[in-house]
């Protein structure tokens, strides 16, 4: 009996949970729950899967009432065999060997609904993270319904599993990252890697530029660019990050333009200073020039 119950748990509860998370991960990054062991997470899959089963049952029942499809019949005597055991196992085996079509139809519908709900939930969470103001216009009703379902049904199960940084990285954002040794980097966020515990381990940047340790004023005075472009990608241990500021690329465009203007003005001032010094030396070398 234990084997059958475990098999039923896998097919009807755990697999829909995995399908839901897989399609939700297309929109957001779902990690592991905090302070939860793998065993607890495994059996915790039953709660959201019960919701998926209830939704599938309701949809199939309504569709059957409207004569759209035929509702898969439930043989409760066969269900009772799972719990009674003994000689009744033979009835269970005979049922699946002759008429497994009803269970297959139900499972196909369950897995399809799990995939659809996971995708909708993932995309809804992603848009809320990246655009908290939501949508307006003719889609506002659909959007409001999706947000309502997300808040009422799925957030209690998955809200604490969302890895916000990884979701942000999906949007081709850039970041200023300062490490604990006071180094400041700028680059495009490529990916966040996680350790076995599901926590962020490293941040990988591409198109990286490093800020000089000297102040911007000192660099401009010495006619050096405060920014230095690094080749390849940069891997930063997340434990070494002191702070991170996620921005759009136009922020760095303004920073580079400001540095370029400051360097241009400094070079012009330096050239004017050199010309003035040369002219002064010529005047000092030619005493008749001032007469």
| Three-state SS sequence of 218-284 | HHHHCCCCCEEECCCCEEEEHHHEEEEEEECHHHHHHHHHHHHHHHHHHHHHHHHHHHHHHHHHHHH
Mean pLDDT value across residues 223-246: 90
Which is higher by pLDDT, 61 or 265? Answer: 265
* Averaged pLDDT of the chain: 78
pLDDT of residue 138: 47
Provide the residue count of the chain.
Answer: 291
Tell me the whole-structure pTM to 2 decimals: 0.57
CA atoms within 13 A on the CB side of 44: 13
Q: Give percent above pLDDT 70 in the chain.
A: 71
C-alpha 50/C-alpha 73 separation (Å) is 19
pLDDT of 111 above 60? yes
**67 torsion bin: left (phi>0), alpha (psi -120 to 50), beta (else):** left
pLDDT of residue 86: 53
Residue 237: strand pairing partners: 202
Q: What is the pLDDT of residue 121?
A: 87
Looking at per-residue pLDDT, the higher value among 178 and 65 belongs to: 178
Q: What is the DSSP string of the chain?
A: -HHHHHHHHIIIIIHHHHHHHHHHTTTS-B-PPTT--HHHHHHHTHHHHHHHHHHHHHHHHHHHHTTSSPPPP--HHHHHHHHH-GGGHHHHHHHHHH--HHHHHHHHHHHHHHHHHHHHHHHHHHHHHH-TT---STTHHHHHHHHHHIIIIIHHHHGGGB-HHHHHHTT--EEEEEETTS-EEEEEEEEEEE-TTSSEEEEEEEEEEEE-SS-HHHHHHTT--SEEEPPS-EEEEGGGEEEEEEE-HHHHHHHHHHHHHHHHHHHHHHHHHHHHHHHHHHHHH-GGGG-
pLDDT score at 3 = 67
Q: Within 13 Å, how many C-alpha atoms sit on residue 259's CB side?
A: 20
Query: What does the pLDDT average to over 191-207?
Result: 80
Q: Are 112 and 69 within 8 A, CB to CB?
A: no
Segment 216-223 shows an average pLDDT of 88
Cα separation, 14 vs 6, whole angstroms: 10
Residue appearing with tokens 């990608």: 233
Question: For residue 110, is pLDDT > 50?
Answer: yes
Where along the chain do its domains lie? 2-162, 168-280
Mean pLDDT of 78-99: 55
Does the pLDDT value for residue 78 go beyond 50? yes
Q: Yes or no: say if 109 and 60 are a contact pair by the CB < 8 Å rule.
A: yes
The yes-or-no verdict on residue 134 having pLDDT over 60 is no
pLDDT score, position 137? 47
Question: Where is pLDDT greater, at 264 or 173?
Answer: 264
Q: Which residues contact 268 (CB under 8 A, 6 or more apart)?
A: none
Q: What pLDDT does residue 35 have?
A: 61
Residue 90: its pLDDT value, please? 55
| pLDDT of 179 | 93
- CATH topology for 168-280 is SH3 type barrels. (2.30.30)
Q: Alpha-carbon distance 151 to 193, whole Å?
A: 28
């Amino acid at each position: 009996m234990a084997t059958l119950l475990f098999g039923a748990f896998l097919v009807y509860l755990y697999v829909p949970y995995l399908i839901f998370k897989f399609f939700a991960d297309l929109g957001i990054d779902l990690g592991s729950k905090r302070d939860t062991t793998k065993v607890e997470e495994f059996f915790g899959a039953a709660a959201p899967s019960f919701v998926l089963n209830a939704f599938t049952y309701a949809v199939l029942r309504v569709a059957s009432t409207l004569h759209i499809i035929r509702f898969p019949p439930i043989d409760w005597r066969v269900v009772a065999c799972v719990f009674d055991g003994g000689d009744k196992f033979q009835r269970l085996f005979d049922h699946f060997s002759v008429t497994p079509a009803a269970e297959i139809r139900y499972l196909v519908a369950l897995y399809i609904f799990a995939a659809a709900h996971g995708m909708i939930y993932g995309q809804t969470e992603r848009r809320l993270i990246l655009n908290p103001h939501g949508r307006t216009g003719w889609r506002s009703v659909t959007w409001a319904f999706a947000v309502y379902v997300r808040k009422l049904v799925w957030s209690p199960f998955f809200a604490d599993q969302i890895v916000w940084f990884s979701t942000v990285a999906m949007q081709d954002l850039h970041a200023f990252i300062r490490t604990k040794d006071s180094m400041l980097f700028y680059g495009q966020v490529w990916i966040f890697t996680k350790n076995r515990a599901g926590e962020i381990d490293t941040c990988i940047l591409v198109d990286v530029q490093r800020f000089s340790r000297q102040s911007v004023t000192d660099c401009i005075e010495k006619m050096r660019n405060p920014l230095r472009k690094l080749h390849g990608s940069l891997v930063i241990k997340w434990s070494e990050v002191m702070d991170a500021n996620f921005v759009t690329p136009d922020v760095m465009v303004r920073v580079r333009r400001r540095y370029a203007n400051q360097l241009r003005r400094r070079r012009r001032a330096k050239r004017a200073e050199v010309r003035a010094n040369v002219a002064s030396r010529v005047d000092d070398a030619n005493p008749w020039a001032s007469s």
